Amino acid sequence: MAGFLLRRLGSLAFVLWAMTVLVFAIVHLLPGSVAHMILGEYATNEAIAVLEAKLGLNDPLPVQYWRWFSGLLGGDFGQSLTMERPAGPVILEALGRSAVLAGVSIVLVAVIGVSLGIHSAVHKGSATDRALTLGQYFFIAVPEFFWCILVILFFAVWLGWLPATGYTPIADGGVTGWAKHLVLPVSTLVLGLIAHVSRLTRSSMLEAIESRYVLAARAKGLPERLVLRRHALPNALLPTITVLAVDIGILIGGIVVVESVFAYPGLGRMLVYAIDNQDLPLMMGGMIVITAVYALANLAADILYAVLNPRIRVGGTAA
């Protein structure tokens, strides 16, 4: 297990380092001067010279990269160009708020998705199973940004139950005010993912139910409930963990969209803001942090998988 962990941590560090190179290269090697991009096409030459000096853009690229990279290692994300404050705290605050969205969503997706999937598999061919299958087709294909429009229209405009956009800290609005602003973004985020997870849980559960070990468990006279819970379910849930890890990638994409629509001040909206305003330190830092979160989530899924599946764990240690 220790060897497995060590190898995985090593590849995580490599991915993060490679991402810093990639982000830096794309920002600095593409045609066009960075200062020009920030100031717009009508900038005077003096203004460009001043900004280039301020950002150290005249240094050789490896020097610039090293300055940025060594800053990152020390937790310094540089100075935000549009907010006149260090990018690090801005990114951290936004990350915290996004983590709330993502955390609530992934728990809901896991619990509801897996339960629906098991229900469908156990009652295969029933009316609910067919309704759920049809619903999955629909929910997987509808884009998140269109869901946003639909739920705003329905719950905020027509019913007037919930605020359409914005965010209230607990300190200002209390827990209810804070939670009210979470309902619509979270429900938009989870709809498609619940469909995805429940669909894959259904197929892996069906595979388990039709397997020989379940047949054996039934043959020795175990009650059906125990057969499902002790024999089918643990095996059916293994692939679901991998699916959940994949879904975290989709969730991150969804968060970028959903935060923009609902004006929720998280990491995704910050990233789009930084891109729109060409705030490079904020943008580059945000991308590195999102990559790190994604890599850590995948690592967590791998560890969970290894813990639940002894075959991988033994193989991993031996290799």
Partner 1 sequence: MSGAAGAATPARRRLPRTLVIGLVVVGVIALLAALGPWIAPHDPDAFAMRMRLRPPSLAHPFGTDEFGRDVLSRVLAGAHYSLLMGFGATAISLAIGVPLGLLAALHRGWVEEVVMRGVDLMISLPPVLLGLLILAVTEPGLFKTILAVGLVYVPIMTRLARAVALELLAEDFVEAARARGEGAWHILAREIMPNAWPPLIVETALRITFAILLGSALSFLGLGPQPPASEWGLMIAESRPFIAEAPWIGLAPGLCLCLLLITVNVVGEGLRDLLDPRLRGRGHG
Which residues sit at the interface with partner 1, rule CB under 8 A? 11, 14-15, 18-19, 22-23, 26-27, 30, 32, 37, 137-138, 140-146, 149-150, 152-153, 157, 196, 199-200, 203, 206, 239, 242-243, 246, 248-250, 252-253, 256-257, 260-261, 271-272, 275-276, 283, 287, 290-291, 294-295, 298
Nearer to partner 1, 3 or 143 (CB): 143
Q: How far apart are CB 56 and partner 1 at their closest, in Å?
A: 18
Are 274 and 259 in contact by the 8 Å Cβ rule? The answer is: no
Q: Within 10 A of 138 (CB to CB), how many other CB atoms are there?
A: 11
Please report the DSSP string for 276-309 in residue order. Answer: HTT-HHHHHHHHHHHHHHHHHHHHHHHHHHHHH-
Supply 152's token pair: 């705003």
Q: How far apart are CB 145 and partner 1 at their closest, in Å?
A: 5
CA distance 219 to 92: 56
Q: How far apart are CB 57 and partner 1 at their closest, in Å?
A: 14
CA distance 180 to 105: 15
Q: How far apart are CB 221 and partner 1 at their closest, in Å?
A: 30
Q: How far apart are CB 12 and partner 1 at their closest, in Å?
A: 9
- In the block, tokens 């607990």 appear at 170
For residue 153, what are the CA distances in angstroms to 146, 163, 257, 263? 11, 11, 17, 16
Among 122, 113, 131, 148, residue whose Cα is nearest residue 243:
113
Q: How far apart are CB 230 and partner 1 at their closest, in Å?
A: 25
CA distance 226 to 203: 20
CA distance 305 to 303: 5
Nearer to partner 1, 76 or 207 (CB): 207
Are 214 and 288 in contact by the 8 Å Cβ rule? The answer is: no
Q: How far apart are CB 219 and partner 1 at their closest, in Å?
A: 25
Q: How far apart are CB 68 and partner 1 at their closest, in Å?
A: 15
Nearer to partner 1, 7 or 229 (CB): 7
Nearer to partner 1, 116 or 257 (CB): 257
Q: How far apart are CB 102 and partner 1 at their closest, in Å?
A: 12
Nearer to partner 1, 55 or 229 (CB): 55
Nearer to partner 1, 155 or 178 (CB): 155
Nearer to partner 1, 250 or 300 (CB): 250
Please report the DSSP string for 122-159 in residue order. Answer: HTTTSHHHHHHHHHHHHHHHS-HHHHHHHHIIIIIIIS
CA distance 72 to 194: 36
Nearer to partner 1, 222 or 299 (CB): 299
Q: Within 10 A of 1 (CB to CB), how many other CB atoms are there?
A: 12
Nearer to partner 1, 227 or 282 (CB): 282
